[in-house]
Chains A and B, each alone.
Chain A
Amino acid sequence: MIHAARSGAFGAVSGAMAALGLVLLACASLAHAESDALIWMRKVQIATQKLSYSGTVLYQQGDRTETSRITRLVDGAGEVEKLEFMDGAPREIVRTKDVARCYLPETRTIKVDRRADRRSFPAVLPQQFEKLSEHYEITLGENRRIAGYDCRELVLKPKDEFRYGYNLWADSQSGMLLKARTFDRQGATVEQFTFTQLKIGNVTREQTKTRHSARNWRVEDASVTPTNLAQSGWSIASALPGFTKIVEVKRRLHEAGAVGQVVYSDGLAAVSVFIEPMEGRREPVKTGLANMGAINIYTRQVANFVVTVVGETPPGSVTRFAETVRYQQAR
Chain B
Amino acid sequence: MKARISALIDSEAEAAELSDSLAAALRDDEEAREAWRMYHLISDAISGTGVLSPGFSARVARRLNEEPALKSPVRAGSAATHPAVTWLGHFAHRYVYPAAVSIAAVAFVGWLGFLPPDFIQSIQPPAQVAALPVPAKKPESPVIRIPPPEAAHEYLLAHQGFSPRNELQGVAPYVRTVADESAGQGKR
Q: Are A310 and B159 in contact (CB under 8 A)?
A: yes
Contacts of B76 in A (CB 8 A): none
Inter-chain CA distance A324–B136, complex, in Å, is 11
Q: For B107, give its contact among A24, A106, A254 (CB under 8 Å).
A: A24
**A147 CB within 8 Å of chain B:** no
- Option from A12, A59, A168, A282 in Cβ contact (under 8 Å) with B50: A12
Interface size of A as a range: 35 or more
Whether the pair A297, B107 counts as a contact (CB closer than 8 A) is: no
B53 at interface by CB-CB < 8 Å: yes
A4-B63, A85-B180, A89-B180 known; A45 and B155 CB under 8 Å? no
| A294 cross-chain contacts in B, Cβ below 8 A | 176
| Complex contact B146–A239 (CB within 8 A) | no
Q: A8–B56 contact, CB under 8 A?
A: yes
Within 8 A of B (CB), among A65-124: 66, 68, 70, 72, 81-83, 85, 87-89, 91, 93, 95, 100, 102, 104, 106-107, 109, 111, 113, 115, 121-124
Contact pattern, B 74-117, Cβ under 8 Å of A = 1, otherwise 0: 00000000000000000110011001100110010011001111
Of A199-207, A209-217, A225-233, A259-267, the one touching chain B: A259-267
Say whether B71 faces chain A, with CB atoms less than 8 Å apart.
no
Q: Which residues of chain A have C-beta atoms less than 8 A from B139's C-beta?
A: none
**Chain B residues, Cβ within 8 Å of A31:** 114
Please give the distance in Å from B148's CB to the nearest CB on chain A: 4
Main SS at interface, chain B: helix
Residue A63 is within 8 A (CB to CB) of chain B in the complex: no
Residues B172 and A122 in contact, CB atoms below 8 Å apart = no
List the A residue with the shortest CB-CB distance to B131. Answer: A241
| A244 vs chain B, min Cβ distance (A) | 12
Number of residue pairs across A and B with beta carbons under 8 Å?
247
Q: Roughly how many angstroms separate A137 CA and B117 CA in the complex, as a whole number?
A: 10
Chain B positions 47 through 58: 1 when the CB is less than 8 Å from some CB of chain A, otherwise 0: 000111100100
Residues B159 and A263 in contact, CB atoms below 8 Å apart: yes
Q: Choose from B133, B151, B182 the contact partner of A106 (Cβ within 8 Å).
A: B182
**Are A17 and B99 within 8 A (Cβ)?**
yes
A100 CA to B160 CA, complexed, in Å: 10
- Partner pick for A222 among B63, B149, B158, B188, CB 8 A cutoff: B158
By the criterion CB–CB under 8 Å, are B158 and A289 in contact?
A: no
On whether A270 and B176 interact (CB within 8 A), knowing A20-B107, A70-B170, A253-B155, the answer reads: no
With A180-B169, A239-B135 in contact, is A59–B175 under 8 Å at CB? yes
Residue contact B53 to A81, C-beta cutoff 8 Å: no
CB neighbours of B143 from chain A (8 A): 288-289, 315, 319
Assembly CA distance A246 to B163 (angstroms) = 10
* A57 contacts the other chain (CB 8 A): yes
In the complex the two chains form, is B183's CB within 8 Å of A107's CB? no
A to B CB contacts below 8 Å, 5 in the list: A8-B53, A20-B107, A93-B174, A102-B178, A290-B152
A18, B100: Cα distance in complex, Å: 11
Give the residue name and chain of the B residue nearest to A273 (CB).
Answer: B159
Assess the A297–B172 pair: CB atoms within 8 A: no
CB-based nearest B residue for A287? B144
Q: Which residues of B contact A104 (CB under 8 A)?
A: 178, 181, 188
Residue in B59, B117, B155, B165 whose CB lies within 8 Å of A297: B155
